[in-house]
Amino acid sequence: MSPPVPSAALAAAPVPGFAPFSLQHALCVAGFVLAVIVLLVAGRRAGPHEPRARRVVVILLWLFIVVYNAYYLWPSRFDPAVSLPLQLCDLALLAAPLALAGVAWARPLLYFWGLLLSSQGFISPTVEVGPAHARFWLFWISHAVIVGGAVYDLVVLRYRPRFADFAWAYGAGVAYILAMFEFNRRTGFNYGFVGSSTPGAPTLLDHLGPWPGRVLWMILLGGVVQFIAWILWPLAARLGRTAPTPPR
């Protein structure tokens, strides 16, 4: 057995981190894209067996959610500033198994929150640690579940958002932002990225101006992006290129 490494040496030893827009970042995105393609092909080819296979996947997603939250809420790692499951991605992660199980109100949340907003995690990831840390894997797997689940709902399950879906998701999103704004103002935290601080990694928030004005821009820009993401489907339906959401 090797002798234990002195604590001073451990502190001095550099631990590889994660750098946005690096080769490691590109590999993570490429791995996600490949996994989604495999998932979509499997879902389309499953035929009548797809609902049963999807139920198994839903169970596995709930198990992952339990592990995900248990990791951050574990007493030795708990930090109220970051460990509470109050980020938008945390809520979108909960919506994923519900939407794939056919819960009607969860499907718009997975589409508008997950596909449109949580996908920013692939563009400008906020994780700062590398593959040697569990947080690295929890970050990428959780975002893959959210965005991949939304894509699966669109491609395989043929979900098509209606105006009521847009109104529900956007209204719920605004309510969430306002609630987190007040919560952050009282605590000094930054849940929902609507607090007075910004993530250490570069994100879109860096271009929205100072707080609290940028919160208004987040609400307005989020509404515009989500409206466009809805209006494309009825326009496509008028052109005869898509169909509304089939009954489940």
Which whole number is the average pLDDT over 96-111?
97
Residue 200, pLDDT score: 66
Sequence-ordered alpha helix ranges (H) in the chain: 7-12, 23-46, 50-73, 88-100, 106-108, 120-123, 134-155, 163-187, 213-238
Q: How far apart are CA 160 and CA 152, in angstroms?
A: 12
Q: How confident is the model over 104-127, as pLDDT tens digits?
A: 999 999 999 999 888 888 988 988
Instruction: Give me the percent of the chain exceeding a pLDDT of 70.
Output: 89
Res 14 pLDDT > 70: no
Number of domains in the chain: 1
Please report whether residue 247 resides in a domain: no
String of b and e for 80-116 (b: at least 16 CB within 10 Å)?
Answer: eeeebebbbbbbbbbbbbbbbbeeeebbbbbbbbbbb
Please report whether residue 246 resides in a domain: no
Phi/psi for 102 (5° steps) reads: 95, 10
Please report whether residue 7 resides in a domain: no
Please report whether residue 68 resides in a domain: yes
Q: Which residues span the domain enclosing 172?
A: 17-238
Please report whether residue 5 resides in a domain: no
Please report whether residue 248 resides in a domain: no
Q: How confident is the model over 25-47, as pLDDT tens digits?
A: 999 999 999 999 999 999 999 99
Please report whether residue 6 resides in a domain: no
Please report whether residue 86 resides in a domain: yes
Bridge partners (DSSP) listed for residue 17? 129
Q: How confident is the model over 144-184, as pLDDT tens digits?
A: 999 999 999 999 999 999 999 999 999 999 999 999 999 99
Q: How far apart are CA 53 and CA 56, in angstroms?
A: 5
What pTM was computed for the model? 0.85
- Given pLDDT bands bounded at 50, 70 and 90, which one contains residue 197? confident
